[in-house]
A and B are shown apart, each in its own frame.
Chain A
Amino acid sequence: MPDPRPILLAKARILDPSRDLDTKGDILVADGVIKDIAPDLTAAGLPADTEIVDCRGLVAVPGLVDMRAFVGEPGAEHRETLASASQAAAAGGVTTIICQPDTDPVIDDPAIVDFIMRRARDTAIVHVHPMAALTKGLEGREMTEIGLLGAAGAVAFTDGTRSVPSAQVLRRALTYGRDFGALIVHHTEDASLAGEGVMNEGELASRLGLAGMPKAAETIVFERDVRLAAITGGRYHAASLTCAESLDVLRRAKEAGINVTASASINHLTLNERDVVGYRTFFKLTPPLRSEDDRVALVEAVAEGLIDVIVSDHNPQDVEVKRLPFSEAAFGAVGLETMLAAGLRLVTDGRLDLMTLIRAMSTRPAELLGLPAGTLRPGRLADIALISLDEAWILDPTSLKSRCRNTPFDEARFEGRVVRTLVAGRTVYEYV
């Protein structure tokens, strides 16, 4: 592909959490990088052939970095390919996807990391980095080649939606990974306690006659993990916390100086267990949607920086596994295309400021993963999302770029959306 034309994002509101910058001005993008940022760049003269984009009323933010997206390639391309996931990402302002290792074959071998990276280079329109499996075959027994996988390009290590039952195995992985600086991302759920549960345990589950998953299934594992992080000095990240009790554990761990960080998914920040009513399987998630009190506590935790990262938890599931009785349906919802719009609801409601939202969706995950993203510093790759904050729209699921339509925001009203996405200076999405 030829290099794209230089682009001037003129008169934008420029918001860069990596520098706590919120200002008005121009951004010049050329040769794939941010060349310059200044109040007015037109006066000094622009490169020939520069495309000038009128950004009045738009916000330019660093492209989002989604730390948790499940993609079906290799093995379940009917659900999602790296190409289709990247198109969905671009439409949502996501310029970097971290794909999860629960593919077939599992990403537990350096050759498969290499496959993903080459495949993404050839077919994806946003940056893709794989997380590798933490244990071989995601079986929770033997650690993977953390050193060699990291050298091949794996940015973190996780067993996806599986929890490692053995404290000893997790301890050794945290210990072994420490000297490699490996980030261990863990799904905090005691499988025996969650049992056959399909939604949050409580009155609502009892009324619906559905088996519940107690919050303790999450908190018990998370507490254990925090103690393991403390004795090993390893880098630990909770993949998706959902309840107030877990936030207490996280707060204490951070206050004690333990190397623990955490994500919350956009679903748990904007939806609650009541959305399940009507046995709507698109709201069947793991971990499950919790109570409204938990949701509010999670949003507050993002606002104060206790929760580091917001993830889409994008998990495409086709109709065959979703159009089933609730208890038999698959877990998961797509989210790449809607995470920013859903997040903007929290900004509109005054629960979060835009800087905090973008920090949790871009700057902070890039820092944790050691990626050169999440910033609008001149000289860095031009991964940029242009957002219109007051564009009102209704999500039409047939317009989704993802191969699956299992969105919990079916026909939802949003205010604010991505209008243009740049990856390395190239426009990969434009809302028309």
Chain B
Amino acid sequence: MLAARAGCVYPADFDMTSNPTASFTLQRRHLLGIEGLSPDEIVGLLDLAEEFVVLNRQVEKKRTTLRGRTQINLFFEASTRTQSSFEIAGKRLGADVMNMSVSTSSVKKGETLIDTAATLNAMHPDVLIVRHSASGAAELLARKVDCSVVNAGDGAHEHPTQALLDALTIRRNKGRIQGLTVAICGDITHSRVARSNILLLQALGAQVRVIAPPTLLPKDIERFGVEVHGDMRRGLEDVDIVMMLRLQRERMNGSYVPSVKEYFHFWGLDEAKLRYARPDALVMHPGPMNRGVEIDSAVADGAQSLIREQVEMGVAVRMAVLDALSRTLPGNSSNA
């Protein structure tokens, strides 16, 4: 693999026009979650993604791995960045990509999901990227179709490509994941990002803390093997990575937390609170951010922020996932 790290200094003899050469294969048809992935599989995906990071910075970004393949982005929940990231990833690998946004408001979800699956399946797609507000929706869909399914977020369950892109971002900036202390802060209860990240970071040997008001901590969260904190100052002590989560607007006004003002006062990441973390701590956020709610602009746009880089890593990681899954698709030459 390439030694692409922070600053991205390439070796002098590096051929900027070469295609990535790695041939990591994910020995499974679907990517439904981080749960069940071995550390080797995670590292394999991250190594492969490093190559796509390089490719994505070239003028010629196209590859032919998925030529002739059909990728459908099936989004039951609105998403700008994840959907466009998957779309670009698929297109750069040569797939025909179709976006389907389905409103869930007016239909009975369970029925529609299976009906939609059957309909789509009849069109012979090769990869389905699915986002749904219900936990377990991706798994249900995977059981009903013949193609690969990638979970792009199911309810409060998992968002595996987000965890992978976060891990890639951390590894490129810190050189490792093993032994780091990562604090995940905010609405843990409703966050699929938190769940996938806890699983992945622990699999690779990081210490994970969660910091949140008790109303935003799921029951028995300490049994996930994480350290639980209510107080930001104590929770951030000696932390290498601060991962902020988005707080949904409907949860800010008295239901889970009393107000934006109080939430920002106690749990919003500003420069004062960030000083409790290690001096070289880095800040992440899966986006979209609520500035002045969970994160202060000075921190979001500051020198310790990796938030922009996360978006770049998102495309590379999704290309790696599609590439690695494609090798097990029927008809693939390397799978013959």
Q: Which chain A residues border B262 with CB–CB below 8 Å?
A: 145-148
Distance between Cα atoms of A232 and B213 in the complex (Å): 13
Question: In the complex the two chains form, is B213's CB within 8 Å of A176's CB?
Answer: yes
Q: Does B10 contact A (CB under 8 A)?
A: no
Q: Using known A-B contacts A179-B230, A179-B231, determine if residue A145 contacts B258 with beta carbons closer than 8 Å.
A: yes
Q: Does B79 contact A (CB under 8 A)?
A: no
Most B C-beta atoms less than 10 A away, residue of A141, A142, A143: A143
B-contact bits for A381-414, CB 8 A (1 contact / 0 none): 0000000000000000000000000000000000
Q: Does B276 contact A (CB under 8 A)?
A: no
Question: In the complex the two chains form, is B255's CB within 8 Å of A172's CB?
Answer: yes
Q: Does B121 contact A (CB under 8 A)?
A: no
Q: Which chain A residues border B258 with CB–CB below 8 Å?
A: 136, 142-148, 176
Question: In the complex the two chains form, is A172's CB within 8 Å of B253's CB?
Answer: no
Distance between Cα atoms of A387 and B134 in the complex (Å): 67
Question: In the complex the two chains form, is A142's CB within 8 Å of B254's CB?
Answer: yes
Q: Does A175 contact B (CB under 8 A)?
A: yes
Q: Does A178 contact B (CB under 8 A)?
A: yes
Question: In the complex the two chains form, is B265's CB within 8 Å of A136's CB?
Answer: no
Q: Does A267 contact B (CB under 8 A)?
A: no
Distance between Cα atoms of A172 and B213 in the complex (Å): 10
Q: Does A242 contact B (CB under 8 A)?
A: no
In B249-265, the 8 Å CB interface with A consists of: 253-259, 261-262, 265
Q: Which chain B residues border A142 with CB–CB below 8 Å?
A: 253-255, 258
Question: In the complex the two chains form, is A172's CB within 8 Å of B230's CB?
Answer: no
Distance between Cα atoms of A135 and B259 in the complex (Å): 12
Distance between Cα atoms of A232 and B266 in the complex (Å): 20
Q: Which chain B residues border A136 with CB–CB below 8 Å?
A: 254, 258
- Cβ-closest chain A residue relative to B231: A179
Q: Does B215 contact A (CB under 8 A)?
A: yes
Q: Using known A-B contacts A172-B215, A176-B215, A179-B230, determine if residue A141 contacts B254 with beta carbons closer than 8 Å.
A: yes
Question: In the complex the two chains form, is B254's CB within 8 Å of A178's CB?
Answer: no
User: Among B231, B256, B265, which residue has its beta carbon within 8 angstroms of that of A172?
Assistant: B256
In B240-280, the 8 Å CB interface with A consists of: 253-259, 261-262, 265-266
Distance between Cα atoms of A148 and B231 in the complex (Å): 14
Interface size class for chain B?
10 to 19
Q: Does B136 contact A (CB under 8 A)?
A: no
- Cβ-closest chain A residue relative to B253: A142
Q: Which chain B residues border A172 with CB–CB below 8 Å?
A: 215, 255-256
Distance between Cα atoms of A172 and B231 in the complex (Å): 18
Question: In the complex the two chains form, is B214's CB within 8 Å of A178's CB?
Answer: yes
Q: Which chain A residues border B257 with CB–CB below 8 Å?
A: 176
In A133-179, the 8 Å CB interface with B consists of: 135-136, 141-148, 172, 175-176, 178-179
Q: Using known A-B contacts A147-B262, A148-B265, determine if residue A176 contacts B214 with beta carbons closer than 8 Å.
A: yes
Question: In the complex the two chains form, is B214's CB within 8 Å of A179's CB?
Answer: yes
Question: In the complex the two chains form, is B214's CB within 8 Å of A145's CB?
Answer: no
Distance between Cα atoms of A370 and B214 in the complex (Å): 22
Whole-angstrom distance between the Cβ of A366 and the nearest chain B Cβ: 26
- Cβ-closest chain B residue relative to A179: B230
Q: Using known A-B contacts A145-B261, A145-B262, A148-B265, determine if residue A175 contacts B215 with beta carbons closer than 8 Å.
A: yes
Q: Which chain B residues border A147 with CB–CB below 8 Å?
A: 258, 262, 265-266
A-contact bits for B80-106, CB 8 A (1 contact / 0 none): 000000000000000000000000000
Most A C-beta atoms less than 10 A away, residue of B256, B258, B261: B258
Q: Which chain B residues border A143 with CB–CB below 8 Å?
A: 254-255, 258
In B206-221, the 8 Å CB interface with A consists of: 213-215
Q: Which chain B residues border A146 with CB–CB below 8 Å?
A: 258, 262
Question: In the complex the two chains form, is A145's CB within 8 Å of B231's CB?
Answer: no
Question: In the complex the two chains form, is B213's CB within 8 Å of A145's CB?
Answer: no
B-contact bits for A114-150, CB 8 A (1 contact / 0 none): 0000000000000000000001100001111111100
Distance between Cα atoms of A145 and B254 in the complex (Å): 8
Whole-angstrom distance between the Cβ of B273 and the nearest chain A Cβ: 14
Distance between Cα atoms of A146 and B254 in the complex (Å): 10
Q: Which chain A residues border B255 with CB–CB below 8 Å?
A: 142-143, 172
Distance between Cα atoms of A209 and B9 in the complex (Å): 91
Distance between Cα atoms of A178 and B259 in the complex (Å): 17
Distance between Cα atoms of A178 and B217 in the complex (Å): 13
Distance between Cα atoms of A273 and B226 in the complex (Å): 55
Q: Using known A-B contacts A147-B265, A147-B266, A148-B265, determine if residue A175 contacts B254 with beta carbons closer than 8 Å.
A: no
Whole-angstrom distance between the Cβ of A162 and the nearest chain B Cβ: 16
Distance between Cα atoms of A178 and B228 in the complex (Å): 14
Q: Which chain B residues border A232 with CB–CB below 8 Å?
A: 214
Whole-angstrom distance between the Cβ of A284 and the nearest chain B Cβ: 33
Q: Which chain A residues border B215 with CB–CB below 8 Å?
A: 172, 175-176
Q: Which chain A residues border B231 with CB–CB below 8 Å?
A: 179
Question: In the complex the two chains form, is B254's CB within 8 Å of A135's CB?
Answer: yes
Distance between Cα atoms of A145 and B257 in the complex (Å): 8
Q: Which chain A residues border B213 with CB–CB below 8 Å?
A: 176, 179
Q: Which chain B residues border A135 with CB–CB below 8 Å?
A: 254
| Leading 9 A-B pairs by shortest Cβ distance | A142-B254, A179-B230, A145-B258, A145-B262, A176-B215, A175-B214, A175-B215, A148-B262, A172-B215
Listed by A's residue number, 28 A-B pairs whose Cβ atoms lie within 8 Å are A135-B254, A136-B254, A136-B258, A141-B254, A142-B253, A142-B255, A142-B258, A143-B255, A144-B258, A145-B258, A145-B259, A145-B261, A145-B262, A146-B258, A146-B262, A148-B258, A148-B261, A148-B262, A148-B265, A172-B215, A172-B256, A176-B215, A176-B256, A176-B257, A176-B258, A179-B213, A179-B230, A232-B214
Q: A142-B254, A144-B254, A148-B261 known; 20 other A-B pairs, CB under 8 Å?
A: A135-B254, A136-B258, A142-B255, A143-B255, A143-B258, A144-B258, A145-B261, A146-B258, A146-B262, A147-B258, A147-B262, A147-B265, A148-B258, A148-B262, A148-B265, A172-B215, A175-B214, A178-B214, A179-B230, A179-B231
